[in-house]
């Protein structure tokens, strides 16, 4: 069992006793199990707003290394992922990754660029590719106000830390909806061997998509589990970020990112036409220390990625709390007692 996150009275998948599959969960069962990964959130929960920003910060971008190998998968391109083309073309991540609300993505990108250019590492920089992803939190937040800006970006980046990761209704997940329930931020990790070396893969997700939730193959339709009408997401999208310390290059990480998008189907995503489904995968491994591994060594990394992403998606729903937005719109938390009963009846726990 992995620890529930601080300040959240709800449970994670591991707390329910659902097995991890063929690979063990990491110590924290979070993307921060990958060495040098820090996560920060800034949330706005007042005056008709449930929105924010989440920062994924790899310390390997330390000035000595100006980029990390990375890959991008576009499951469906109905989105506003800033920095996507250079990420895909070069197979390189030059900055931390920020996640936010759809209409705030451009303000966030500008504030993010200003933050980076003010750092000593970029004192002489004249070109830089900040990466900012988004989903639409307009069901639970006054999205047209574009309320996320420099103050929130600065807070998320400066507060980014290792250790347990806050999940559910925080940061970029403050106002999102998934599979009929309140969605949000979720994370998970797996420990495996790649090419004979012990490695970790971790995922963090921002869920805002439709479909019928499945946990370990057990259907959990919001229409049945909720006494109220299910919530319908606006924008219908998902952002997935995968980090690993495996010795893989940008092309191989593109293959890893593809598997991350595949994992959405495991939790019941319907991949609706208006869904912006993206996965970014990067490695903190220093190529100077060897690699990349042979293609034949990648299958465990693919499988572990799908398991970690699927669990992160589920955790985003399990940890989220009922949230009210403008005009009385409500996204209800999934009832944990009913989930536990159904999983037990199916022999999963």
| pLDDT tens-digit series, residues 68-82 | 999 999 999 999 999
The string of DSSP letters for 33-96 reads: GSTTEEEEEEEEEETTEEEEEEEEEETT-SSS---EEEEEEEEEE-S--BTHHHHHHH-EE-S-
What's the CATH number for 22-323?
3.60.70.12
Confidence check: pLDDT of 247 > 80: yes
Q: Is 237 labeled as catalytic in the residue annotation?
A: yes
Average pLDDT over residues 271-297: 95
What percentage of the chain has pLDDT greater than the value 70? 97
Catalytic: which of 277, 283, 307, 316? 277
Average pLDDT over residues 121-148: 96
Per-residue pLDDT at 227: 87
Confidence check: pLDDT of 7 > 80: no
Residue 226: count other Cβ atoms within 10 Å of its Cβ.
17
Confidence check: pLDDT of 3 > 50: no
Average pLDDT over residues 110-115: 98
Confidence check: pLDDT of 4 > 50: no
Confidence check: pLDDT of 5 > 70: no
* CB-count burial class (<10 Å; 0-12, 13-18, 19+) for 146: middle
**Gap between the Cα atoms of 336 and 346, Å rounded:** 15
Q: Is 275 labeled as catalytic in the residue annotation?
A: yes
Confidence check: pLDDT of 122 > 60: yes
Average pLDDT over residues 133-158: 97
What percentage of the chain has pLDDT greater than the value 90? 93
Q: Is 316 labeled as catalytic in the residue annotation?
A: no
Per-residue pLDDT at 101: 98
Average pLDDT over residues 236-265: 98
Average pLDDT over residues 101-124: 96
Per-residue pLDDT at 9: 61
Confidence check: pLDDT of 17 > 70: yes
Average pLDDT over residues 72-101: 97
Catalytic: which of 73, 104, 141, 275? 275
Per-residue pLDDT at 87: 96
Average pLDDT over residues 114-118: 97
């Amino acid at each position: 069992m992995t620890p529930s996150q601080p300040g959240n009275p709800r449970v994670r998948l591991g707390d329910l006793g659902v097995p991890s599959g063929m690979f063990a969960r990491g110590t924290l069962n979070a993307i921060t199990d990958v060495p040098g990964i820090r996560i920060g959130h800034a949330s706005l929960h007042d005056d008709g707003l449930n929105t924010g920003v989440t920062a994924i910060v790899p310390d390997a971008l330390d000035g000595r290394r100006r980029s990390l190998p990375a890959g991008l998968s576009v499951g469906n391109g109905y989105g506003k992922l800033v920095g996507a083309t250079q990420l895909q073309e070069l197979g390189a991540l030059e900055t931390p990754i920020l996640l936010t609300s759809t209409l705030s993505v451009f303000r966030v990108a500008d504030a993010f660029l200003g933050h980076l250019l003010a750092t000593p590492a970029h004192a002489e920089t004249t070109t830089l590719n900040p990466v900012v992803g988004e989903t639409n939190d307009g069901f639970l937040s006054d999205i047209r106000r574009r309320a996320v800006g420099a103050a929130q970006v600065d807070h998320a980046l400066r507060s980014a830390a290792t250790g347990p990761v806050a999940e559910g209704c925080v940061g970029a997940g403050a106002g999102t909806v998934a599979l009929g329930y309140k969605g949000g931020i979720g994370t998970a990790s797996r420990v495996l061997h790649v090419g004979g070396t012990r490695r970790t893969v971790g995922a963090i997700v921002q869920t805002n998509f439709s479909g019928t939730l499945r946990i370990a193959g057990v259907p959990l339709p919001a229409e049945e589990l909720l006494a109220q009408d299910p919530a319908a997401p606006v924008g219908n999208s998902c952002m997935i970020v995968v980090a690993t310390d495996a010795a893989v290059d940008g092309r191989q990480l593109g293959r890893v990112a593809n598997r991350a998008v595949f994992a959405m189907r495991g939790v019941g995503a319907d991949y609706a036409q208006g869904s912006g489904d993206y996965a970014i995968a990067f490695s903190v491994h220093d190529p100077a220390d060897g690699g990349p591994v042979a293609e034949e060594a990648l299958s465990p990394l693919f499988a572990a990625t799908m398991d970690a992403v699927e669990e992160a998606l589920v955790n985003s729903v399990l940890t989220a709390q009922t949230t009210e937005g403008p005009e009385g719109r409500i996204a209800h938390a999934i009832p944990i007692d009913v989930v536990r009963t159904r999983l037990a009846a199916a022999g999963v726990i």
